[in-house]
Amino acid sequence: MAAVLNHDELEGFAEALHELLEALHEALTDELNEIEHVRHLLRRTGQGCSERQSALDVARRLNLAHLQHHLLSIADCNAALERINRGSFGCCHQCGEAIELNRLRADPLIITCLCCHG
Ligand SMILES: [Zn+2]
């Protein structure tokens, strides 16, 4: 069953998704630079200072968690844009019914209606 979104609404969602993608790409670039910086520090620190080393390890792990989250979000964004192109955006992946508009507005990446969300 087709979603009840009109052309303008779809355009609005596409625009929001593009903006989100841009922000995610920026965040990713920053994170990659940060990780590179930490790696550089770790290489220079040597064996002596274990406290500093483990602190840097923690920082690196946190960044990787963010990085992974952002990579997944980028994949979700691209999938949502593809659904807009295919005309299936706004349809619940489980039951095929239209996803509530307020839910989509709050998060254009969701793929299930309130009932199927569990
Ligand atoms: Zn559903």
Query: Closest Cα to residue 52, out of 42, 65, 62?
Result: 42
Q: What is the pLDDT of residues 18-44, one digit of tens each?
A: 999 999 999 999 888 877 777 777 776
Distance in Å, CA 91 to ligand 1 centroid: 8
Query: Closest Cα to residue 86, out of 3, 16, 21, 22?
Result: 3
Q: What is the pLDDT of residues 51-65, one digit of tens each?
A: 666 666 767 677 778
Distance in Å, CA 104 to ligand 1 centroid: 13
**pLDDT band with cut points at 50, 70 and 90 for residue 118:** confident
3-29: average pLDDT: 92
Phi and psi at 47, nearest 5°, equal -85, -30
Q: What is the pLDDT of residue 64?
A: 78
Give the CATH number of domain 7-117; options: 1.20.120.910, 3.40.640.10, 1.25.40.420, 2.60.40.1120: 1.20.120.910
Distance in Å, CA 60 to ligand 1 centroid: 39
**Percentage of the chain with pLDDT > 70?**
83
Distance in Å, CA 105 to ligand 1 centroid: 17
Q: What is the pLDDT of residue 1?
A: 44
pTM of model > 0.85: no
Per domain, the residue ranges of the chain are: 7-117
pLDDT of residue 97 exceeding 80:
yes
